Chains A and B, each alone.
Chain A
Amino acid sequence: MAQRERPIEIINPPNMLKAKLGGPLPAADDALMKRAEAALDGLRQNFNDWLGEEVTKLEGLMRTVKTEGMQGEAGEALFTCAHDLRGLGSTYEFPIITRLAASLSKLIETPEQRASAPLALIDAHVGAIRAAIIQNVRDDKDPVGKALAEELEARVVALVGERS
């Protein structure tokens, strides 16, 4: 077990937030969560456009790395875009894009990985993400989408291993 750094000063600041709110926050109730759902519903009509913009950006960066290579800013920008899509895919109701983008992010996260990652495998991820939108494949209930995601993930794991 790791030893704690010493000396240690423990500070217990007054709970200003609890005082400001007049007491503890109660557990979330159904009405509150329904209000949050309704708020997201109001944005839902934009989700396809927003996702499309992100994927177009990803494709543009893919074109750039094909000419400039994966090292340097272009490769990092591609990783950042894939990482963003990992967070946004499910939000925009395409969980399979979150899955595919997570696999791509794992493949190209560090400069060392980017230096050796096969361009064809990176491109296959980008193509799969675009195909998911075109075919409206939203999750891995679609057998083709599931098989594609599993194949890409397996190839990435074979190259970079399981990371935690």
Chain B
Amino acid sequence: MTASHQPDSRLAKLRIAVVDDNAAMRGIVRSVLSAFGIVAVYEAADGPSALEILRAERIDMLICDWKMKPVDGLTLVRTLRDPDKSPCPLIPIIMLTAYAEPSKVKEARDAGVTEFLVKPFAAEDLYKRMQTIVNRPRPFVRTKMFFGPDRRRLATGYQGPERRDDAAPLS
């Protein structure tokens, strides 16, 4: 696991962990995040290493591959969403995977993934996922069978100003 440091920006305050068993892909994600100005990018090649990072550091967001050994990304997500086992059950998780089938998106969502992004990814799409996480976070839902971000939110794709946040109250 490693951390990199790049020039300042507003996003420089974010601490992001990238979990992927492919070192080149980790490097590509790291490069894009660094271009966004993100200061601290932590890398892990598998789920157990990711958990070590998440226990040791205050990570703001996780970018996670699906197909990994010995623990796949989905199992890692389920572990992280287990309030009894997780160091950070509320952490936003972007699943970055070559899977593109709707059934896989649903499976990831049901495991507790916050956002889903298909490889190969465009830098702009990664930014938009991060923007959604920051600007329009999902409430969390706890049932007997599930703990994770609300799975019902409609993806409107709206990226404009949040007028409701600064609207004047009606008198």
A and B co-occur in one complex: yes
Could you count the A-B residue pairs with CB atoms below 8 Å apart for me: how many are there?
Answer: 135
Q: Which residues of B sit under 8 angstroms from A15, Cβ to Cβ?
A: 134, 137
Using a CB-CB cutoff of 8 Å, which residues 20-69 of chain B contact chain A? Answer: 22, 24-25, 27-28, 31-32, 34-36, 60-61, 67, 69
Interface bits B128-145 vs A (CB < 8 Å: 1, else 0): 101101110101111111
Candidates B32, B134, B159; contact of A18 at CB < 8 Å: B134
- Would A11 and B27 be within 8 Å (CB), given that A22-B10, A27-B131 are in contact? no
Chain A residue nearest to B130 (CB atoms) is A25
Query: Quick check: A28 and B124 within 8 Å, CB to CB?
Result: yes
Q: Are B28 and A91 in contact, with the CB atoms below 8 A?
A: yes
Name which residue of chain A comes closest to B162, CB basis: A24
By the criterion CB–CB under 8 Å, are A87 and B119 in contact? yes
Which chain A residues border B130 with CB–CB below 8 Å?
25
**CA of A32 to CA of B126 in the docked complex: distance in angstroms?**
12
Contact of A6 among B13, B143, B162 (CB under 8 A): B143
B15 CB to nearest A CB, Å: 10
* Distance of A90 Cα from B98 Cα, bound (Å): 11
- Convert A62-86 into 0s and 1s, putting 1 for each residue whose CB lies closer than 8 angstroms to a CB of B: 0000000000000000001001101
B131 touches A28 (CB 8 A): yes
Residues from chain B with a CB closer than 8 A to the CB of A105 are 98
The 7 closest A-B pairs by CB, nearest first: A87-B119, A87-B98, A36-B123, A90-B120, A5-B143, A39-B35, A36-B35
- Spell out B's residues near A (CB within 8 Å): 10-11, 13-14, 22, 24-25, 27-28, 31-32, 34-36, 60-61, 67, 69, 90, 92, 97-103, 119-121, 123-124, 127-128, 130-131, 133-135, 137, 139-146, 150, 159-160, 162, 165
Q: Beyond the given A9-B143, A21-B10, A35-B35, could you list 13 further A-B residue pairs with CB under 8 A, ordered by the A residue number?
A: A10-B140, A13-B140, A18-B135, A21-B13, A27-B159, A36-B35, A36-B124, A37-B123, A39-B34, A83-B98, A88-B22, A164-B101, A164-B102
